[in-house]
Copies of this chain bind each other. A is one copy, B any other.
């Protein structure tokens, strides 16, 4: 897979909290959207992945919050593959509004079977 994917995300009212900013937990959901759409941009669907009996589960996450995002903001999410191992992928993320960095982060996802046992990534992902 090539290494960078970009998508826009419009902040939903439901995603804000009493501070009128996007609740910090939602950025993990945004990152997940980035992974899904990056796969799709390569002609794959994570749904097919699960239908084949494999799951990607998050094993580690790290987020750094630099500036608040607000309702109705149009954010740019940049997702990058940092590293691919036999059974895991490390992604890095930037959420940007205009020229301002809102959040940066990293996650590691691991390929497991329905019993939770670590499994090798499919060849089309490694290729």
Interface size on A, residues (CB 8 A): 37
In the complex, which of the residues B29, B47, B50, B60 contacts A64, with contact meaning CB atoms closer than 8 Å?
A: B60
User: A55 at interface (Cβ–Cβ under 8 A)?
Assistant: yes
Interface of A is mostly: mixed
Smallest Cβ distance from A97 to chain B, in angstroms?
Answer: 14
CA distance A20 to B23 in the complex (A): 12
Copies of this chain assembled into the complex? 4
CA distance A42 to B18 in the complex (A): 23
Query: Could you say which residues of chain B place their CB within 8 Å of the CB of A64?
Result: 59-60
User: A81 at interface (Cβ–Cβ under 8 A)?
Assistant: no
Contact B65 A24 (CB under 8 A): no
User: A125 at interface (Cβ–Cβ under 8 A)?
Assistant: no
Contact A46 B14 (CB under 8 A): no
Contact A14 B19 (CB under 8 A): no
Smallest Cβ distance from A103 to chain B, in angstroms?
Answer: 10
Contact A18 B60 (CB under 8 A): no
Query: Could you say which residues of chain B place their CB within 8 Å of the CB of A57?
Result: 19, 21, 24, 65, 68
Contact A72 B60 (CB under 8 A): no
A residues touching B (Cβ–Cβ < 8 Å)?
A: 12-14, 16-21, 23-26, 28-29, 32-33, 36, 45-47, 50, 55, 57-65, 68, 70-72, 116
